[in-house]
Amino acid sequence: MDSLTIIAAVSIFTAGITIAIGGMMPSRGEGEALTKAIESVARQPEQANTIIRLFFIGAAVVESVAIYSLVIALIILFANPFIHLFTK
């Protein structure tokens, strides 16, 4: 295997790990936040609008982490900054 093949294989593996972790952790965080929001609405129904609004803001912030990991994985796959070091 030449160095270009090794860089490509490591890039594919790294992109896969990035998407796996970057998708799993925000999903878990959103699930926990939704659970707490439902519990809060059950305890204080008069504050439901405020709780739901804050949940949606928090969910958007958490989801941005997954989007950033997708962007990083796409950069690693298609605009790999290390390929030019090994191609001459």
Distant-in-sequence, close-in-space partners of 44: CB < 8 Å, separation ≥ 6:
51
In a domain, 28, yes or no: yes
Count of structural domains, the chain = 1
Q: Are 10 and 75 in contact (CB under 8 A)?
A: no
In a domain, 88, yes or no: no
In a domain, 64, yes or no: yes
Q: How many CB atoms lie within 10 A of CB 15?
A: 20
For residue 7, CA distances in Å to 4, 36, 43, 84, 88 come to 5, 43, 54, 11, 14
In a domain, 39, yes or no: yes
Give per-residue pLDDT as tens, 10-33. 989 999 999 999 989 989 989 999
In a domain, 68, yes or no: yes
The model's pTM: 0.73
Residue 24 has a pLDDT of: 92
For residue 28, CA distances in Å to 14, 19, 31 come to 21, 14, 5
- The CATH number of the domain where 46 resides is what? 1.20.20.10
- What is the span of the domain harbouring residue 28? 3-79
